[in-house]
Chain A
Amino acid sequence: MDFMNTFRLALRALARNKMRSALTMLGIIIGVGAVIAVVSIGQGAQYLVQQGIQAMGTNAVFIAAGSNRAGGVRQGYGGVKTLTVDDMNAILREIPLIKQAAPALSSRQQVVYGNQNWNTSITGTAPNYFDIRTWPVQAGSVFSDEEVDIAANVCVIGTTVAKILFVDDNPIGKEIRIGNLPFRVDGVLESKGQNVTGQDQDDVIFAPYTTVQRKISGITWLQFIAASAVSQEASVAAVAPITSLLRERHRIRPGDDDDFLIRTQADIADLQNQTQSTMTYLLGGIASVSLLVGGIGIMNIMLVSVTERTREIGVRMAVGATEDDVRRQFLVEAVTLSMMGGFIGIIFGLVGSALISNLLSWPTLISGKAIIAAVIFSAAVGIFFGYYPAHKAAQLDPIEALRYE
């Protein structure tokens, strides 16, 4: 008997017991629906993280001043005074993988405008920092290299600071006080929102690093260098040469710890991705348990169906159905049941994740891979759990089957 026939027969047999077929499919529907919804939520979260990381620039390489050991007491990162602008220039000069670099150091200060005041972080840097972090201004402009050279009292502010200090005023050209010094606001940065750890990235003020070094912090070294490599691969490849260059410049003996820390954006992205995919797999795994339960439901119903239709099987065998014909008939029935459940489950999963993303405003991302996996998995469930009942049907003795009451 050809396949289309068998398939039509299966549909007819399932249609005869609509309620039962629907309930049997429910297990698969819930299983597949849950897998699709969970995976799409997981992928949505992962996508969001990746977006955040991308926003920081995927080619970025961060070099932070490391800890210093003073007679056994370790200071935290940023504690050493050895990372300098000269180091940065040396990296740019000697490591061609690095395209550009910006110095940075920060300090927390009280800032005042009119009758508003706020405590935030003042980061000293150079104009190309904003290129490296792909962070343009939404109004005004970034301070210039000349202003860095003369350590001018100018700054750009994040949207959070702008909102708090200026409320509805236009901040451009206004003068604010940072610590005890007046600064002119040149620009307002675009909003970056929260970073992946939930920190508000817009609660910042940037000023020329020379100004921060000399007039605010009173130091000559840097806390970190934000660099950008020529490509994402280059950012990883640059870690080793930067390490050896800095160790040489800082005269660190072989065997001693580095006094700096290099992080690439790729590292961070990997870590974040890993966490997210672990979660996705875990949740997906839990959801597939219900697929398994659904499969057992199919086996159960198929066994009942074989018993109920013993006479039909006998008649079919008497008029010429071979064991293979009978086995195929019941197997196709089980697979049809599970795959129909799978398709309905996909629809439920898609609708469910759309609802979640609308009602809870969680990001979701429909995964084609999850859908394909759901289809294959539900077919596999049908074959696996349908085989035993089908085999049982095929093994029936036609004489006994015809006599069955």
Chain B
Amino acid sequence: MADQITIAMEPKETVASGKPVIRLENVFKTYDLGEIQVQALRGVSLEVYEGEFVAVMGPSGSGKSTIMNILGCLDRPTKGRYFLDGVDVSGMTKTQLARIRNRKLGFVFQQFNLLSRTSAVENVELPTVYAGISPEERTKRAMDALTRVGLADRAGHHPSQLSGGQQQRVAIARGLVNRPAILLADEPTGNLDSRTSVEIMDILQTLNNEQGITIVLVTHEPDIAQYAKRNLLFRDGKLKRDSLVQDRLDARVVLKSLPTVEQQAAEDAAEEAQRLARADAPA
């Protein structure tokens, strides 16, 4: 149904002014499983510029998870170089990579991965704790990030008291709190219903459009990829297609076409009232 309301957005011509935030130069990744060697990436080169919104797509086994792990500095390429924000991170130690993740990258996961029995604001604070920021500044920044995802009023709630969409918004706030160069989202809508998925895409689009945050998103859902500005298609460890999104979806417009939770509730209430009215008038 979302397809019917395609609103063509002007694809900003690949931000000319920006410098590449990500530059992969002929990156290989080989997993040594003892007897066999699995080549997950076979010579990937690509650049992502400041302010871009990139969706990484591909079937399972295409290497899109591996590319995500390498972009996220959770793994190192076997061969080739990776420049993040102009710095070559391909040869860094684990501790150096932890620092880079802390300062340059924000993560959003499919499973939300919030710490349970820990309030939203404390979850958002987590990266600032490892950045050595003072407690007052930490809370300030966390509240600021929560405000950006529209959850300032839920700061004291624990994940178990939040809906899936709200949890994912907390996770996005956590990804933003250290003002990273890129926000990496790994199937952020994979665990959410369609309306909530669009809400999350709305937040990501707003962050990208209004605050110029560079976003790299992994998804296997083509309609989710339509919210990005650029799509990268991986297959067999290689970048198969690199294209700008035509007929880009605007989450805000899509949302208007979907019934809101309140509308749904109002409809249900109206039906219920009718049913009761019928029951009350027997004579």
Contact = CB atoms under 8 A, between A and B. Distances in A.
Interface of A: 1-2, 5, 16, 311-312, 314-325, 398-399, 402
18 contacts: A1-B129, A1-B130, A1-B132, A16-B117, A314-B113, A317-B101, A318-B74, A318-B113, A319-B101, A319-B126, A320-B102, A320-B178, A321-B98, A322-B99, A322-B130, A325-B130, A398-B74, A399-B74
A346 B37 CA distance: 58
Contacts of A316: 126, 130
A322 B93 CA distance: 11
Contacts of B131: 320
Contacts, number: 58
B144 interface: no
Contact of A5 (B107, B117, B129, B174): B129
Contacts of B102: 319-320
Contacts of A314: 113
B72 A322 contact: no
B17 interface: no
A323 B98 CA distance: 8
A318 B115 contact: no
B103 A323 contact: no
A351 B127 CA distance: 45
B99 A315 contact: no
A296 to B, nearest CB: 28
Contacts of B174: 319
A320 B101 CA distance: 5
Contacts of B107: 318-319
A219 B130 CA distance: 92
A320 B130 contact: yes
B49 interface: no
Contacts of B98: 317, 320-323, 325
A15 to B, nearest CB: 10
B84 to A, nearest CB: 14
Interface of B: 69, 72, 74-75, 94-95, 98-99, 101-103, 107, 109, 113-115, 117, 126-127, 129-132, 174, 178
Contact of B69 (A16, A320, A322, A399): A399
A319 B125 CA distance: 10
A2 B131 CA distance: 10
B72 A318 contact: yes
Contacts of A321: 98, 130
Contacts of A318: 72, 74, 101, 107, 113
Contact of B113 (A2, A5, A311, A320): A311
Nearest to B100: A320
Given A315-B115, A402-B109, 5 more contacts: A320-B101, A320-B103, A323-B98, A398-B74, A402-B113
B161 to A, nearest CB: 16
Contact of A323 (B95, B109, B114): B95
A315 B101 CA distance: 11
A301 to B, nearest CB: 18
A316 B113 CA distance: 10
B142 to A, nearest CB: 12
A16 B103 CA distance: 30
A320 B72 contact: no
Nearest to A324: B95
A5 B107 CA distance: 23
Nearest to B130: A320
A16 to B, nearest CB: 6
B91 to A, nearest CB: 17
B279 to A, nearest CB: 48
A398 B74 CA distance: 7
A317 B103 CA distance: 13
A319 B130 contact: yes
Given A2-B132, A318-B74, A312 B103 contact: no
Which 5 pairs from chain A and chain B are nearest by CB? A320-B102, A320-B130, A319-B127, A322-B98, A322-B95
Contacts of B115: 312, 315
A320 B131 CA distance: 8
Nearest to A316: B126
Contacts of A1: 129-130, 132
Contacts of A402: 109, 113
A60 B175 CA distance: 81
A325 B130 CA distance: 8
Contacts of B69: 399
Nearest to A309: B115
A321 B98 CA distance: 6
A1 B98 CA distance: 13
A319 B184 CA distance: 11
A323 B94 contact: yes
Contacts of B114: 315
